[in-house]
Amino acid sequence: MGNKQIAVIGGGIAGLTAAYYLQKEIRTHQLPYEVKLIEASEELGGKIKTVKKDGFTIERGPDSFLARKTSAARLATEAGLEDELIRVSSGKSYILANGELHSMPKGSFMGIPTQIKPFVTSSLFSIPGKLRAAGDFVLPKGKPQEDQALGHFFRRRLGNEVVENMIEPLLSGIYSGDVDKLSLMATFPNFYDMEQKYGSLIRGLQETTAKPSKSGTQKKPGMFLTLKNGLSSLVTAVEEKLEEETVLKGVAVNQIEKKNESYQLSLSNGKALSADAVIMAAPHLAAQKMLNQYDFMNEWKEMPSTSVANVAMAFDAADIEDDIDGTGFVVSRNSDFRITACTWTHKKWPHTTPEGKALVRCYVGRPDDQEVVHFSDEEIEEIVLRDLNKQMKIKGKPEMKVVTRWKNVMPQYTVGHKQRVQRVKEQMEQHLPGVFLAGSSYEGIGLPDCIDQGENAVRDVLAFLNK
The footprint of ligand FAD (CB under 6 A) covers 9-15, 38-41, 46-48, 61-65, 252-253, 281-283, 286, 290, 308, 310, 406, 409, 439-440, 445-447, 450
Cβ-based nearer residue to ligand FAD, 97 or 282 = 282
Q: How far is the CB of 392 from ligand FAD (least distance, A)?
A: 23
Cβ-based nearer residue to ligand FAD, 62 or 434 = 62
Cβ-based nearer residue to ligand FAD, 158 or 437 = 437
DSSP character at residue 7: E
* Cβ atoms of residues 239 and 4 within 8 Å: no
For residue 163, which of 124, 198, 199 has the smallest C-alpha distance? Answer: 124
Amino acid at 350: P
Q: What's the CA gap between 177 and 103, in Å, rounded?
A: 23
* Residue-by-residue DSSP string for 216-283: S-SPPPPSEEEETT-THHHHHHHHHHS-GGGEEES--EEEEEEETTEEEEEETTS-EEEESEEEE-S-
* Cβ atoms of residues 312 and 348 within 8 Å: no
Amino acid at 326: G
Q: What's the CA gap between 123 and 128, in Å, rounded?
A: 13
Phi/psi of residue 160, nearest 5 degrees: -65, -35
Cβ-based nearer residue to ligand FAD, 134 or 171 = 171
Cβ-based nearer residue to ligand FAD, 134 or 252 = 252
Cβ-based nearer residue to ligand FAD, 126 or 292 = 292
Secondary structure (3-state) at 200: coil
Q: How far is the CB of 180 from ligand FAD (least distance, A)?
A: 22
Cβ-based nearer residue to ligand FAD, 109 or 224 = 224
Q: How far is the CB of 358 from ligand FAD (least distance, A)?
A: 20
Q: How far is the CB of 230 from ligand FAD (least distance, A)?
A: 12
Q: Which residues contact 345 (CB under 8 A, 6 or more apart)?
A: 63, 312, 352, 353, 359, 360, 361
Q: How far is the CB of 57 from ligand FAD (least distance, A)?
A: 14
Cα-to-chain-centroid distance, residue 218: 29
Q: How far is the CB of 405 from ligand FAD (least distance, A)?
A: 10
Q: How far is the CB of 202 from ligand FAD (least distance, A)?
A: 27
* Residue-by-residue DSSP string for 116-127: HHHHHH-TTS-H
Cβ-based nearer residue to ligand FAD, 70 or 126 = 70
Instruction: Please report, in angstroms and rounded to a whole number, the separation of the first and last CA atoms in the chain.
Output: 17
Q: How far is the CB of 340 from ligand FAD (least distance, A)?
A: 11
Q: How far is the CB of 390 from ligand FAD (least distance, A)?
A: 24
Cβ-based nearer residue to ligand FAD, 269 or 298 = 269
* Cβ atoms of residues 47 and 12 within 8 Å: yes
Return the sign of the alpha-carbon dihedral for residues 198, 201, 202, 206. positive
